[in-house]
Every structure is written in structure tokens, then in C-alpha cells.
Amino acid sequence: MDEVLNSTLRTAVLTRLDYLDSLARDADEPSKAVLADTVISRLTAAWRELLAAHEPDHRGRCRACATRWALRRAECSVWRTAHRHLVTDPVRQSATRGGSAGRHQLRSA
């Protein structure tokens, strides 16, 4: 039962992300403004909740990512992903990977 629930939850989340991507890419400007007003705060809240679940301990290790036996080398992929997408300069990030920066850049109207 957990497998079905996890699959359903996963599909719902991925479908929502696809929908938001399509709105950000294809919607008209008023719709994008509404999207920004409603979705950005939900996304930042989601990131904060996720990051709180991965808050490092007093030694800087993430207990959520660590197994009991590998606690010493528990690097948190959630914090690395957050930094890569929320902090790192998308132009420089793209240049180092050789990809297009356009997808990650904020565009003005």
C-alpha cells in the first residue's frame, strides 16, 4: 500500500511541477504575475520545510541523509541542490556545465 501511495504522491508532485513549468514558459504576462504572487511563497515555504528536515547537527552533518554507519560522511544533497538552484549564479553555472543558461535566468517582461 505504501508503494502505491508513494507512486501516487510522486506522480502528483511531478505533474504539478510540469504544470508550473508550462505556465512559467507559456502563460501570458498577467497569468505569470498571478503565478508569481501565488506560487513563489508556496515554493519558498516548501524549500524552508525541506531544509529544516535536513538541518545539520552540531558537527555539520545531516542526519536525514546519513545512515547509521555512514554518519561521518553524510553530505546533504538537499542543501547542495538548494545552493545550486537558489544561490549559484545561473550564467556561471551554465558555463561550467556547457549548457544553456536561458532556462534558469529570470526574464524581464
- E strands present in 31-87: none
Q: Check binding of 35 to Zn ion (CB under 5 A).
A: no
Which range of residues in 5-13, 64-72, 88-96, 99-107 is near Zn ion by CB under 5 A? Answer: 64-72
Which distant-in-sequence residues (6+ apart) come within 8 Å of 100 by Cβ? 94
24, 30 contact by CB (below 8 A): no
Q: Which is nearer to Zn ion, 52 or 109 (CB)?
A: 52
Q: Which is nearer to Zn ion, 66 or 101 (CB)?
A: 66
Distance between CA atoms of residues 72 and 43, nearest Å:
31
Q: Check binding of 65 to Zn ion (CB under 5 A).
A: yes
Q: Check binding of 78 to Zn ion (CB under 5 A).
A: yes
Q: Where does this chain bind Zn ion (CB under 5 A)?
A: 54, 62, 64-65, 76, 78
